[in-house]
């Protein structure tokens, strides 16, 4: 996959996470082509976009990181990722990150991408299977836990 497509999202994750939560994201390796499935760390958010291209951004993170993100965004402490405001915080974070990424792509390459609202889920032993589309993942770490950023693109028919 062309770097020009996924690098804006990687940059957006780092900068928006810092702006919104004051949490520093550190890549743990290089961007790699992803296999068909992602074994979730615990909390995942998926947002899709479409225009001249289609695709989606997946943010997957450990539960402790999700709780800290929600705390830093809302100012409240949470103990469970099943709480609505925790998942709503992750959902909004993903929305803003994806929005920032597609803004860069739209302004640079006129892809006309628009976002659909995200979904977010939390569970035990969750596996997300993503066949039929090529994607790139970057594994990252923060002081509160791990995060995986996965961006996928395909041509619109």
Partner 1 sequence: MSKKILIVDDSPIIHILLRKTLESRGYEVCGDAKNGKEGVEMFKLLTPDLIFMDITMPIMDGIEAAKTIKELNPLAPIIMLSAMGDDEIVSQAKEVGVDIFLKKPFDDYKIVSALSKLE
Partner 2 sequence: MLDNIQIDKDSVNVLEKALSEAIVKVIGTTSGFELNNSLLITGNNPLQESQLVGIMFLTGNTNALLAVTMSNKTASTLVSYISGIETTELSDEDIQDGVSELINMIAGSAKSLLKDTKFYFHLTSPITVVGENRLMIHKGTGNKLYKRFHFGDMQINLIHLIL
Residue 129 CB, shortest distance to partner 1, in Å, is 27
| Rounded Cα–Cα distance for residues 37 and 146 (Å) | 17
113 DSSP assignment: -
Residue 72 neighbours by CB under 8 Å, 6+ apart: 20, 21, 22, 23
What x-and-dash track marks residues 61-100 binding partner 1 by CB under 8 A? ------------xxx---------x--xx-xx--xx-xxx
User: Residue 46, interface with partner 2 (CB under 8 A)?
Assistant: yes
Near partner 2 in 91-110, by CB under 8 A: 91
User: Residue 117, interface with partner 2 (CB under 8 A)?
Assistant: yes
| Rounded Cα–Cα distance for residues 10 and 92 (Å) | 17
Q: Residue 112: name its binding partner from partner 1, partner 2, none (Cβ under 5 to 8 Å by kind).
A: partner 1
Near partner 1 in 134-153, by CB under 8 A: none
Phi, psi of 117, rounded to the nearest 5 degrees: -60, 145
């Amino acid at each position: 996959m062309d770097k020009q497509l996924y690098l804006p999202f990687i940059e957006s994750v780092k900068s928006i996470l810092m702006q919104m939560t004051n949490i520093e994201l550190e890549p743990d390796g290089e961007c790699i082509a992803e296999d068909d499935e992602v074994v979730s760390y615990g909390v995942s958010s998926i947002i899709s976009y479409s225009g001249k291209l289609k695709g989606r951004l997946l943010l997957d993170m450990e539960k402790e990181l999700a709780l800290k993100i929600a705390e830093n965004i809302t100012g409240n402490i949470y103990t469970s990722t099943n709480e609505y405001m925790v998942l709503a915080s992750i959902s909004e974070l993903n929305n803003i990150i994806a929005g920032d990424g597609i803004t860069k792509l739209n302004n640079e390459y006129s892809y006309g991408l628009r976002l659909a609202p995200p979904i977010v889920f939390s569970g035990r032993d969750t596996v997300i299977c993503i066949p039929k589309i090529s994607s790139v993942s970057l594994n990252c770490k923060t002081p509160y836990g791990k995060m995986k950023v996965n961006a996928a693109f395909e041509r619109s028919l």
